[in-house]
């Protein structure tokens, strides 16, 4: 079946550095990709929606300059957490929509020291 690959699965970084998370659709073209954030024992909160070749649409309260999203191709979207701080530590999950189906990545646990 269709698979969405998300890398890295876990990343630890120093405060002030930037971290890039990749989300790839492996055997289908993802017209739309979504990025979610999940705090411990909390639900998933939609951060942004990205369509290939266009600017991402961010949810209210999400800093677009902080969380840079690029969806340059139909199989790849990236989320870059810029100048990460400890409060950015969270579980980030992407999902990809293609062929009228939705698939989730396995998530990235970001820890900012």
Partner 1 sequence: AQSVTQPDIHITVSEGASLELRCNYSYGATPYLFWYVQSPGQGLQLLLKYFSGDTLVQGIKGFEAEFKRSQSSFNLRKPSVHWSDAAEYFCAVGSGAGSYQLTFGKGTKLSVIP
Query: CA–CA separation, 102 vs 96, rounded Å?
Result: 6
Q: Answer yes or no: are the C-beta atoms of 13 and 112 closer than 8 Å.
A: yes
Query: CA–CA separation, 21 vs 64, rounded Å?
Result: 15
Contacting residue, 20, 32, 82, 89, with partner 1 by CB under 8 A: 32
Instruction: Enter the DSSP assignment of 88.
Output: G
Extract the tokens encoding 22.
């990749």
Least Cβ distance, residue 15 to partner 1 (angstroms): 23
Contacting residue, 35, 95, 110, 112, with partner 1 by CB under 8 A: 95
Measured from the CB atom, is 18 or 99 closer to partner 1? 99
Extract the tokens encoding 100.
């009228």
Neighbours of 106 (CB within 10 A): 12
The site string for partner 1 over 51-90 (x = CB under 8 A, - otherwise) reads ----------------------------------------
Least Cβ distance, residue 104 to partner 1 (angstroms): 4
Which chain residues interact with partner 1 by CB under 8 A? 6, 32, 34, 36, 42-46, 49, 91, 93, 95, 97, 102, 104-107, 109
């Amino acid at each position: 079946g269709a698979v969405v690959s998300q890398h890295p699965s876990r990343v630890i970084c120093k405060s002030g550095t930037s971290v890039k998370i990749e989300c790839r659709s492996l055997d289908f073209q993802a017209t739309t990709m979504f990025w979610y954030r999940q705090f411990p024992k909390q639900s998933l909160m939609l951060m942004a929606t990205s369509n290939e070749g266009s600017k991402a649409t961010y949810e209210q309260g999400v800093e677009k300059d902080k969380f840079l999203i690029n969806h340059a191709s139909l199989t790849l979207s990236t989320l870059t957490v810029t100048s990460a701080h400890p409060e950015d530590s969270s579980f980030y999950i992407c999902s990809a929509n293609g062929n009228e189906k939705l698939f989730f990545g396995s998530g990235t646990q970001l820890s900012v020291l």
